[in-house]
Amino acid sequence: MLLLAHSEKMKLAGKDTVFRDLFSQKKYLLQMYQALHPDDTTITADDLNIVTLKSILMNGIYNDLGFMVRGNQLMILVEAQSTWSPNIVIRSLMYLMDTYQEYFRENKIKLYGSHKADMPKPELYVIYTGDKGSHPDVLSLKDEFFPDTDCCIDAKIKVIYLRDNDDIINQYIGFCRVFNEQVALYGRTLTAAKEIIRICRDRNLLKDYLSEREKEVEDIMLTLFDQEYVWDLERDSIRAAALAQGASEKQNQVVLNMFKRNMPIEDIADISGSSVEEVQEILKNAAVLH
């Protein structure tokens, strides 16, 4: 489906892509686990199994990282976030449920029988690359969305900020900050990509990873810089066309045209002046969204 393919591309921003590539390698995934669980000194790379979702829900959202520890002992989901949003706790809960569904299906665990299902203990984390400010250390679904009420469900995410150490998580946050600084100075250019890699290696931020995969990381950033530039041009063109059409009777066609160009639903809503729900209804009525 076109929407899934496009959502995948749009999710793969430069820093997010590096995050996935970095932690798809077991030796760096092991370092992440050790940073999250420093007391577990017997863990090995063979004890970790990546279960990151490939797609979820109808809009093709991809989560950043999921992995199992020692078979089914722990299920750890980690999101990398550059802008603060309390909605991350909702998204993480959805990722968790979908990951559990995959786990039950792959292990042929029947949930409708009388026997209690075996399931791994969940742990949810978000690595926040911005400043901590007044943001909490733990983001709670109940506290954030249903304070002072008796809510039947809760989910809690531990938020990890920049810390005074050099573990792999802290290095990734440092990489993201260098990324932002150099893009602000040089734009999304080859110069920026080279400077990001050079500075991070000089500061011992993901040094081994960047030394091993310098060309690949540079290519990742340049490809995505180009995609973003083309996408910005296309968005401007579509917005102008949508505004020119203007009339309400053209709204449905405008939405469909944008969808055919693989635009995310949120952007379609923004450009067309509709709500996300209205856009989804238009697409469903046109039988292009299932």
Asked if pLDDT for residue 248 goes beyond 80, the answer is no
Domain co-membership, 145 together with 265 = no
Of 216 and 122, the one with more pLDDT: 122
pLDDT tens figures, 113-150: 888 999 999 999 999 999 999 999 999 999 999 998 99
- Residues 262/3, Cβ–Cβ less than 8 Å: yes
Instruction: Classify strands 121-128 and 74-81 as parallel, antiparallel or unpaired.
Output: parallel
pLDDT at 283: 83
Domain co-membership, 151 together with 267 = no
Q: What percent of the chain has pLDDT over 90?
A: 54
Domain co-membership, 135 together with 202 = yes
Q: Which of 211, 228, 244 is the last residue of a domain?
A: 244
Q: Which of 214, 229, 244 is the last residue of a domain?
A: 244
pLDDT at 135: 95
Q: What percent of the chain has pLDDT over 70?
A: 82
Domain co-membership, 38 together with 105 = yes
pLDDT at 4: 33
| Backbone conformation region of residue 126, classed left if phi is above 0, alpha if psi is from -120 to 50, else beta | beta
Domain co-membership, 208 together with 258 = no
Domain co-membership, 208 together with 92 = yes
What is the number of structural domains in the chain? Answer: 2
Domain co-membership, 141 together with 226 = yes
| Band (62; pLDDT cuts 50, 70, 90) | confident
Burial 9-42 (b: 16+ CB within 10 A, else e): ebbbbbbbbbbbebbeebebbbbbbebbeeeeee
- The boundaries of the domain holding residue 286 are 246-290
Domain co-membership, 195 together with 60 = yes
Helix (H) / strand (E) containing 78: strand 74-81
| Band (234; pLDDT cuts 50, 70, 90) | low
Residues contacting residue 119 through CB under 8 Å, at least 6 positions apart: 72, 100, 103, 104, 109
Asked if pLDDT for residue 65 goes beyond 90, the answer is yes
- Residues 157/92, Cβ–Cβ less than 8 Å: yes
Distance CA 8, CA 98 (A): 17
Domain co-membership, 227 together with 252 = no
| Band (5; pLDDT cuts 50, 70, 90) | very low
Q: What is the largest CA-CA distance in the chain?
A: 65
Domain co-membership, 277 together with 161 = no
Which amino acid type is present at position 15?
K
pLDDT at 259: 83
pLDDT tens figures, 252-266: 878 888 887 777 888
Domain co-membership, 169 together with 265 = no
Domain co-membership, 226 together with 113 = yes
Distance CA 273, CA 222 (A): 32
Asked if pLDDT for residue 83 goes beyond 80, the answer is yes
> Considering only CA atoms, which of 31, 41, 42 is closest in space to residue 65?
31
Q: Which of 244, 265, 280 is the last residue of a domain?
A: 244
pLDDT at 281: 84
